[in-house]
Amino acid sequence: MNNKKEQEGLVTGTVVEALPNAMFRVKFENNDKLHLTYLAGKMRKYRIKVLIGDKVLVRLDPYGGKGRIERRV
C-alpha cells in the first residue's frame, strides 16, 4: 500500500569513512559529494555493524541535513 511512499527519499551509497558516535560519511552513486549520516535506531539496537566499503540505503533529510542509514545492501 505505502510501498511507494516508503521508498521515497531512499538513496544507495557506499560508506567512505567511519566517525565517532555511529556517524559515517557516505558517497552516493549519483553524486560526488560526501554526506554525513548516522545509524537508524533499530540498527543501533540490534548492533548491526557497518564497515567502510559497505553499500547502504540512506534516507535523506528533505531539508538538506544529515541522512539516516536505514539498512545494509
Looking up residue 56, the CATH number of its domain turns out to be 2.40.50.140
What per-residue confidence (pLDDT) applies to 34?
Answer: 93
**Strand partners of residue 35:** 26
- Which range of residues forms the domain containing residue 27? 3-72
* Comparison of pLDDT for 9 and 25, the residue scoring more: 25
Domains: count for the chain: 1
Mean pLDDT of 28-49: 93
User: Could you tell me if 14 and 54 are in contact, meaning their C-beta atoms sit under 8 angstroms apart?
Assistant: yes
Percent of the chain scoring above 70 in pLDDT: 90
Three-state SS string over the chain comes to CCHHHHHCCEEEEEEEEEECCCEEEEEECCCCCEEEEEECHHHHHCCCCCCCCCEEEEEECCCCCCEEEEEEC
pTM of the model as a whole: 0.85
What per-residue confidence (pLDDT) applies to 22?
Answer: 93
What per-residue confidence (pLDDT) applies to 6?
Answer: 64
What per-residue confidence (pLDDT) applies to 2?
Answer: 61
